[in-house]
Chain A
Amino acid sequence: MQDKSLLEVSPQDLLGLILSKRQKDASQLPKDEQKRDEELTRAYELYNTSKETLAELVDTSSGQEVDPLEKSQAENIVKENETHRKRVMARLQRVRRQLKETRDAVEYWSAMDDTTLSNLLGDAERVNDGGLSTFAIKKTAQNG
């Protein structure tokens, strides 16, 4: 965006842009959530399958000596699948947090009234009245 355009952005303009972005996210995130959910289901399936495979390997070879290489490979697969499952779970949780945050934001920005907006523009108002900017206040506090 050009410098001049930035100076001409009004609070309503920016508010509209933020809301639009949040609404877009709010419509996209459930899809992401579903994808992650399906991914997690697959990850669980993989994990469970590998665990069963390992258990079968140990059971079938009862009385006989288990091939150590085969057992080690099966254990490794279980570990990998478990790590993958945890990772997919974390992704799903992140998407869910984002979705909640987005829904809260949509609610907040949609319900914006004059009083709240005026509070948000308090620092700008102070600077317009010839007061110190937040940067100057921080600097003074640091030096003091």
Chain B
Amino acid sequence: MEVNESDLFADLRSLDLSDVNSKLLHQEGLLEDIDGRLTKNRNITSYRSACIMFCLGKSDAAPPKNSKLGEELAELTVVKRIEFNQLIQQRDALMGKIVLPKYRIIQRMASVYEKLTHSSESAPLTLGQEITLFSEFFELQAMHAQLDPLATVEIELEHLHKEVSEHVKTINKADRDTAKIISALVEQRRQTTREIGRLKAFIRSRKPKTKPADAGNARKKISQGDTISMEDLGALLDHGGLTDIEPIKEPSQKKKKKSAFTSTKAKRNRRKT
């Protein structure tokens, strides 16, 4: 809204007050709309942020699903990350049972096989060592077989990791766009509140500058039996109504006497007879 620097209300002076009022109503509606959009966008940003924290493993708690925000990609990414975490747990549980990775198992098997099947003059095996190694060889074979599903899990983990990373990038980009929208909305809100303030100030300036009716005066008038205006009635209704009006009391004799006694002022031209 362009405002003349010398006259803040230049564009409004030619308008009727009703037009200015409708402008004010329009701006107030706009403000409500901006606030609604700001809240929604801030909720989206906050939800995305929680999703990204979870998806990057910086937070343990998955944000609760919020279908009102319409953030399908963030929700999907959270689901994928949960799947990823489950696979990691599965892999860790398996590795906890087996301990050695496949390549170490193979290395060890080759070494055990060599010791069992080739004579060594420098360090020949005792029967006890041979029995232990025989047993170990087939345990290593079983361990290797147990780790077979790990290959599929690793492939799946890599795939999920890539997918989650890509989604996080997309969400981050969308979030940057939302941040721009929020920033524009904040600026729009600032301008709208300023315009509302200007319109209200103009409306105030156009109202007749009458002294507001005094409720005390109105009461006095009623108690004295005088007629009251509509403004006086309005003031009375605003300040307690008509029920607490009391007639004006005559000053008491006692008070008069007391004033006569207590007065020490000189009483010129009022001599007692």
Q: Which residue of B lies closest to A20 (CB)?
A: B117
Chain A residues with CB under 8 A of B118: 21
Judged by a CB distance under 8 angstroms, whether B126 is at the interface is yes
| Cross-chain contact A101 with B110 (CB below 8 angstroms) | no
Q: Does B82 contact A (CB under 8 A)?
A: no
Q: A1-B110, A6-B109 are in contact. Are A121 and B135 (CB under 8 A)?
A: yes
Partner of B127, one of A1, A9, A105, A128: A105
Residues of chain A with a CB closer than 8 A to B130's CB: 18, 105
Contacts A6-B110, A17-B116, A105-B130 given; indicate if A128 touches B145 (C-beta within 8 A).
yes
Q: B99 interface residue, CB < 8 Å from A?
A: yes
Which of A132, A134, A136 is the one whose CB lies under 8 Å from B136? A134
Please encode chain B, from 115 to 139, with 1 for each CB lying within 8 Å of some chain A CB and 0 for all others. Answer: 0111100001011001100111111
Contacts of A127 in B (CB 8 A): 97-98, 139, 142-143, 146
Q: Are B138 and A133 in contact (CB under 8 A)?
A: no
Return chain B residues, CB-CB under 8 Å to A101: 124, 126-127
Interface string of A125-144 (1 = CB under 8 A from B): 10110111111100100000
Contacts of B96 in A (CB 8 A): 136
Residues of A within 8 A of B (CB): 1, 3, 6-7, 9, 11, 14-15, 17-18, 21, 24-25, 98, 101, 104-105, 108, 120-125, 127-128, 130-136, 139
Q: Within 8 Å CB of A136, what residues of B?
A: 96-99
Tell which of A7, A98, A135 touches B144, judged by Cβ atoms closer than 8 Å.
A7
Give A122's nearest chain B residue, CB to CB: B135
A44–chain B nearest beta-carbon distance, Å = 24
Which of B124, B131, B139, B145 contacts A134 (CB under 8 A)?
B139
Contact of A25 with B98 in the complex, beta carbons under 8 Å: no
Least CB separation from B98: chain A residue: A133
Give which listed residue, A14, A15, A139, contacts B99 with CB less than 8 A. Answer: A139
State whether B97 touches A132 (Cβ < 8 A): yes
Residues of B within 8 A of A11 (CB): 134, 138
